[in-house]
Amino acid sequence: MKSLKYIMLVALVALGFTSCKKFLDVNSDPDNPNNQSVLIQNRLPWIEHFYQYTAGVTNYRTSCMAGVYYTNNASPNTFSTTWACTNANSTTPYQTWFVEVSSNLVDLYNSASKQNAYHYMAAADVFHALGYMEMLDLYGEMPYTQAGTGNPSPAPDDGKTIFNGCMSKLNEAISLFSKTQDAAAPSFATGDLWGGGDVNKWIKACWGLKARYMLKLSKKADLYNADSILYCLSKGPQSIADNLVGPGFNNSTVTDYLIGDPVVTNGNFDYVAFGSTVRISQYYYNLLTNMRNSGVVDPRMSKIVPSYMTGVQLDATGRVSSYTWTRSLGVDSYGPATRLLKVGPTSIVTPVYAATNTTITYAIADATDRANFIAAQTAANRTFTTSGNNVAVTYKAGSIYVNSTNYLVAGDTVYVNMRSSSIATSGIAAQGQTDVSWYPSAAAFTAGVVGSTGSFQVRPVSDQEILTYHEMCFIKAEVYMRKGDAGNAYTAYKAGIQAHIDMMQAKLTQWKAAGYTATNPDMAPMDQTAITNYMNSAAVAPGALTMSDIMLQKYVAMGCSIENWNDMRRFNFSAGNVGGFGVVYPGYQRGPLFTGQAQLTGTSPTDVRYWMRRWALPPTYEINYNSVNTLALNPHATDPNIWSMPVWWDCATDDEYYGYLKK
């Protein structure tokens, strides 16, 4: 699959150098459009789709870095568990951005300009800002001013240049969206999947993006401007009705011709919940069950943390007749990490389904471990026998269990994977469009035994959040907190929590009306009494607000989003040395499985180089084939510890940033 992408990239470069005008002229068949003839209203939805894919993989992998998810996939596990960052994570966002999105933006803009289709031109500007800012967040320096020009070895730009360029594009987008298109120009609604052609929503999104990006400058005394951010917020989204999202669907089996993933699903689903590797982390789980050490369970928890069926009884026809929903636990890699230390950082095992009674014999030499294991089987009401060190456990037909003789992984069923199903991916022909639960096998589906209910943000039918009102509220709360205005900070903080709950509730209500809850109770609306009780509980600061209160509630609400990692960098994670705000992300720290000394060379949390602050550039593109230009700007781009070098906006001054780029 990756080889095909490389071939296509080479082909695109070669096409940029061809001078065969005759070939281009004759290729005007409307059934075979080229980059000059394709309709702008046909190009935009594909840009939206491919951007969602780029953002999806970025959100997933940075959410592993930020502690939202654990994964047993070896590459991103280096982000979630060992912190021994690997280049295997670097390529896909870069690849999908340049090959599938950026390569279309100049053509969209130019084609729209010829038709005075100002709103399509504006959309091209917005995607320029979204994508290149994301690339800056990840890689720091990269080709920008020479990108998309046909130059096969474009020189990279520094982070300041990229940042200012993206802000300029948003300003132009606001101006273009404010103009009236020519009557003959294609309606913006025809091509806009995200906003349905609502230009006012896009204008508000532009202002909201400006606020998001200006907040990144919070370390820079010469550039951070609280009042400018508040002004942008006043023109940005004002309610959940203004949210800009990419809708997800489960109504097509068509898969992308490059990547092989469904073309209509949520981009976050494509990475977090397409397979069976991802679990909720203990860090995220604790915030949903014990925010502010309150012991209060968040009403959003049961919609975010997946569950599965236990204690299943099958009737005479082999269908489930009774069961219990059991909620997942979080995987611990930041604290004691007891389970992972036993077998290894990637050792959480995905369970299978017992179509018939299945007996597994475990050899357990340690007497204490054996006694504890037997006690666990008794508590689960399983049949077992013992003989010396051996314990033979029978998993009844209908059970979900781990198919391994290693007793240390037998209990991994408590870590429910995030997997969800679409009709394009389940492999079960009879699984309908309104059933997006995960079944471990076709036999489990036939019996009706659910292996995972999935999670709110990452189902195929979930909205992919591009810019939301709740994010704006939390930005406002932070800005007011920095200004010392505790009253307005508190109002915005509570509004942010409520806005996120309201957004979730609206979607859950839609899912119930569409019939998804027939097989999945986690897709039903939250109990209103539980919401009211939570908002009045100790989990929500009663008045004496801290920056940690704001940022942890924002962390919960943003979930699968690069913005959590961006925020954590701005506050130096759990170092507690930014602005007198104390430790903003308590408990986020290197765990006992840390092996990233070569990548993260700082020796204490207050050392900048202690933390994951950027990604290495993709070795195939900018290292192997463009190393002269890459190393000319940043001679440390190939150093093992590039992962701990701050990007431009993560530095307090330009002198600090450019100091990192010196030999």
**What per-residue confidence (pLDDT) applies to 17?**
29
For position 152, what pLDDT does the model report? 86
Indicate if the pLDDT at residue 329 is higher than 80.
yes
- At 7, the pLDDT band (50, 70, 90 cuts) reads very low
- d(CA 256, CA 57) in angstroms, rounded, equals 15
pLDDT tier at 427, thresholds 50, 70, 90: very high
Straight-line distance from the first to the last Cα atom of the chain, in angstroms, rounded to the nearest whole number:
37
pLDDT given for residue 14 in this prediction? 30
Q: Look at 79-88, 91-100, 239-248, 646-655 and tell me which has the smallest mean pLDDT.
A: 91-100
Exposed, middle or buried by CB within 10 Å (0-12, 13-18, 19+), for 114?
Answer: exposed
Structural domain boundaries in the chain: 307-454
| 453-471 tens-digit pLDDT | 999 999 999 999 999 999 9
Calculate mean pLDDT across residues 83-105: 94
At 8, is the pLDDT very low, low, confident or very high (cuts 50, 70, 90)? very low
Instruction: Count how many Cα atoms sit within 13 Å of the Cα of residue 268 in the half-sphere of its side chain.
Output: 28
pLDDT(2) > 60: no
Say what the pLDDT of residue 22 is.
29
Between CA 533 and CA 473 the distance in angstroms is 21
pLDDT of 424 strictly over 70:
yes
Among 33-47, 105-119, 466-480, whose mean pLDDT is lowest? 33-47
Which pLDDT does position 30 carry in this prediction? 58
**d(Cα 313, Cα 316) in Å, to the nearest integer?**
10
C-beta separation of 222 from 153 below 8 A: no
Average pLDDT over every residue of 81-95? 95
Does position 83 have pLDDT exceeding 90, yes or no?
Answer: yes
Query: What is the predicted pLDDT for the residue at 32?
Result: 66
- State the residue for tokens 């009045």: 536
- pLDDT for 4 beyond 90: no
Say how many residues make up the chain: 663
Q: Picking from 67-71, 171-175, 256-260, 410-414, which range would have the lowest pLDDT averaged per residue?
A: 256-260
Q: Would you state the pLDDT for residue 622?
A: 84
In this prediction, residue 31 carries a pLDDT of: 63
* Location of structure tokens 């530095």: 651
Q: What is the mean pLDDT of residues 545-570?
A: 98
Give tens-digit pLDDT for 332-388: 999 999 999 999 999 999 999 999 999 999 999 999 999 999 999 999 999 999 999
Could you tell me if 586 and 552 are in contact, meaning their C-beta atoms sit under 8 angstroms apart? no
Using CA atoms, how far residue 429 sits from 253, 446, 595, in Å, is: 11, 11, 44
The whole-angstrom separation of Cα 129 and Cα 522 is: 35
* pLDDT at residue number 33: 63
Nearest to 612 by CA among 586, 640, 645: 645
Band of pLDDT at residue 621, cut at 50, 70 and 90: confident
Q: What is the pLDDT of residue 476?
A: 98
Q: What does the pLDDT look like over 488-503, one tens digit per residue?
A: 999 999 999 999 999 9
Longest CA–CA span in the chain (Å) reads 85
* CA 400, 404, 406, 408 torsion-angle sign: negative
The residues with which 395 forms a beta bridge, in sequence order, are 358
Name the pLDDT band for 123 (thresholds 50, 70, 90): very high
Phi, psi of 353 (to 5 degrees): -110, 135
Is pLDDT of 29 > 60? no
Average pLDDT over residues 125-139: 98
Strand-pairing partners, residue 394, are 359, 383
Q: How far apart are CA 512 and CA 506, in angstroms?
A: 10
State the pTM of this model: 0.94
Q: How confident is the model at residue 26 (pLDDT cuts 50, 70, 90)?
A: very low
In this predicted structure, the answer to whether residue 18 has a pLDDT above a threshold of 60 is: no
Residue 3 scores a pLDDT above 60:
no
Three-class SS of 272-292: HHCCCCEEEEHHHHHHHHHHH
Q: How confident is the model at residue 620 (pLDDT cuts 50, 70, 90)?
A: confident
| Strongest mean pLDDT among 99-108, 256-265, 298-307 | 298-307
Averaged confidence pLDDT in the chain: 94
The region, left, alpha or beta by phi > 0 then psi within -120 to 50, assigned to residue 639 is: beta
Does residue 6 have a pLDDT over 60? no
Q: What is the pLDDT of residue 23?
A: 25
Q: pLDDT tier at 151 (50, 70, 90 boundaries)?
A: confident
* Torsion-angle region of 482 (φ positive above 0: left; ψ -120 to 50: alpha; else: beta): alpha
Share of the chain above pLDDT 90, in %: 91
Higher pLDDT, 620 or 75: 75
